[in-house]
A and B are shown apart, each in its own frame.
Chain A
Amino acid sequence: MDAPANPVALRAEPVRDDALLRATRRRALLSRLLAHGALILGVLIVAFPIYMTLVGSTHDAGTIGRGDVPLVPGAHTVENYATAWNEGGGRSQTTPASTMLVNSLIMAVAIALGKIAISILSAYAVVFFSFPGRMLAFWAIFITLMLPVEVRIIPTFQVIVDLNLGNTWPGLVIPLIASATATLLFRQFFLTIPDEFVEAAKIDGAGPVRFLRDVVLPLSLTNIAALFVILFIYGWNQYLWPLLIINDRSMETIVVGLSKMIGRGDAQNEWNTIMATAVLALLPPVLVVALMQRWFVRGLTETEK
């Protein structure tokens, strides 16, 4: 081994560039401060409208109408929520929030479960069988990906009128159930189920229906859960379709009902009740996301790929 060329130089005290070191530390600190600052600001912007809504739901209509909403909660929480829950608010609108919440819940759950059910069945048929017209059926479903309900809203509405389904639950739910995305997701997943499973099922004498129930459905449970979160939110947040289909006050959903309450957005509105209703309208889907965050993120990033 070579001896160090200059042992003295090696042992000499190393040069330290203090200015550079300080600049480096400053940059690292700044980067962290920037990140924290930006994220805190982001969280505040996200949270502020909700906070003010919460605050608004705790004051009386007069305080808000005068334009004196303070930044801290008031003392009218119970009565505001009680009014919203039992009577509803707004001068032209009196459906109680409790009724609208139940309606929204029925709609969201029916859409989510309906979409999942028909998507599993059709994906199962397309993946596990070979029959004439298989590809045609697949493409017929696939192409609907390109037609969001808003685009074909008027003719679809006419179809509902022709079928006499206006103001009915089936009329509200069924047109929103067909979903190419869910079908594609399940198809993708079914294609990854190993052939050995199918062979084993056949050797055990299990038919296609039994295989679906005993093997495919249990394997799909996490996918179903993830998809349910996404579809529940999708269903809960529907606006244009219920607005067109439902005239019956007793079937009003809370998202549509809330927007009807604000009318032209006048200062004389019963803002306290409106804000309480807004809190009730956003609480269920937000809770679903908060409680099922892991599934939600997974469901979202996987369905949209």
Chain B
Amino acid sequence: MQRKVIFRGRILPIALLLPQLAITFVFFFWPAGRAIYQSLLREDAFGLSQEFVGLENFQDVLSDPNWVNAALNSVVFSGCVAGLALGIALFLAVQADKSLRGVTVYRSLLIWPYAVAPAVSAVLWLFLFQPQVGLIGRWLNAAGVAWDYRLNGTHAMILIVIAAAWKQVAYNFIFFLAGLQSIPASVLEAAAIDGARPARRFWSIIFPLLSPTTFFLLIVNLTYAFFETFGIIHALTSGGPGQATETLIYKVYVDGVQNLNLGLSSAQSVILMVLVIALTAFQFRAVEKKVHY
């Protein structure tokens, strides 16, 4: 798209673009290219020499049971976070869309966890679920559940899911509420006159009309759970116990920063890039198709 009326000149626009383009090239394309390049190389243990190994790093990654474990963890983790955060947010948004006394107060009080950093959210929930200190942790142990997220992988997973979903509910709530408010009131009234009770109205009218919003949020939530929750995992479990909460992004960090295995880490980065690009492309295609009006 281009405006009809424009200014003349070549130097000025390029000068204006320069900061953005320079940063993009230095910090996006160069690293991305380097990741692809390194993913094809292998360094010896002392970092003295490199050799070209083709797709061997990818083979190693994909056949590495630790990587497969991390992939499975990522799927479970992001599935749970997205499902929980979307479900709760949709339910709350539907309630907050009713004309109730004090509904704007509820709305304001529900949106602000969005501002809390994932790592801080982790600390808040840790303080509740810490087995000896935390209120809920102690309560669980008193109730006979041997709760300790530092020893039990399932407990650790539950804890990071709660901390990650808690924050994302606020984000989803804002979008669901906006989506609900954009459904014309008369369409819902027509359904009421056609004899549909609230539950039926929700499933046959509201939910289908909300599907573009839901789909958009699903992608955003998956991306969030995949990448932005690094802080939660790092602060709470460091991928443990064992590797029970090691996700793909966490493994990139472990292999690259702690084990300094650049080839393997780069290959994983490249796989993740492909994944993100696929998700984004999928989203764009679906958005084009899914518009109802």
**Which of the candidate stretches B40-48, B59-67, B71-79, B270-278 sits at the interface with the other chain?**
B270-278
**B186 within 8 Å of A (CB atoms):** no
**A262 within 8 Å of B (CB atoms):** yes
On chain A, the residues within 8 Å of B19 by CB distance are 117-118, 121-122
- CA gap between A55 and B202 in the complex, in Å: 40
Q: Give the interface SS of chain A, mostly helix, strand, loop or mixed.
A: helix
A38 near B280: Cβ-Cβ < 8 Å? no
On chain B, the residues within 8 Å of A35 by CB distance are 95-96, 98, 100
On chain A, the residues within 8 Å of B138 by CB distance are 67
**Which of the candidate stretches B2-10, B50-58, B187-195, B203-211 sits at the interface with the other chain?**
B2-10
Out of B4, B6, B14, B112, which one reaches A289, CB within 8 Å?
B112
A148-B276 contact in complex given A38-B95, A198-B5, A286-B115, C-beta closer than 8 Å: yes
**B158 within 8 Å of A (CB atoms):** no
Measured CB to CB, the nearest residue on chain A to B198 is A31
- CA gap between A239 and B99 in the complex, in Å: 40
**A246 within 8 Å of B (CB atoms):** no
On chain A, the residues within 8 Å of B127 by CB distance are 49, 52-53, 56, 271, 274-275, 278
On chain B, the residues within 8 Å of A52 by CB distance are 124, 127-128, 135
Measured CB to CB, the nearest residue on chain B to A197 is B5
Q: Give the most central of A56, A65, A129, A236: most B CB within 10 Å.
A: A129
Interface residues of A in 84-128 (CB under 8 A from B): 117-119, 121-122, 124-128
**A130 within 8 Å of B (CB atoms):** yes
On chain A, the residues within 8 Å of B273 by CB distance are 146-147, 151-152
Out of A45, A49, A152, A255, which one reaches B31, CB within 8 Å?
A152
Out of A43, A177, A207, A258, which one reaches B110, CB within 8 Å?
A43
Out of B103, B116, B150, B166, which one reaches A282, CB within 8 Å?
B116
On chain B, the residues within 8 Å of A36 by CB distance are 100
Out of B3, B14, B266, B276, which one reaches A154, CB within 8 Å?
B266
A259 near B7: Cβ-Cβ < 8 Å? no
**A214 within 8 Å of B (CB atoms):** no
**B24 within 8 Å of A (CB atoms):** yes
On chain A, the residues within 8 Å of B196 by CB distance are none
On chain B, the residues within 8 Å of A145 by CB distance are 280
Measured CB to CB, the nearest residue on chain A to B179 is A301
B236 near A265: Cβ-Cβ < 8 Å? yes
Query: 6 closest A-B pairs (Cβ-Cβ)?
Result: A239-B231, A237-B117, A155-B31, A259-B235, A129-B13, A154-B256
List A residues at the B interface (Cβ < 8 Å). 27, 31-32, 34-36, 38-40, 42-43, 45-50, 52-53, 56, 64-65, 67, 69, 71, 117-119, 121-122, 124-134, 137, 140-141, 144-148, 150-159, 163, 174-175, 177-178, 183, 191, 195, 198-199, 202, 207-209, 211, 233, 236-237, 239-240, 243-244, 255-256, 258-259, 262, 264-265, 267, 269, 271, 274-275, 278, 281-282, 285-286, 288-290, 293, 296-297, 300-301, 304
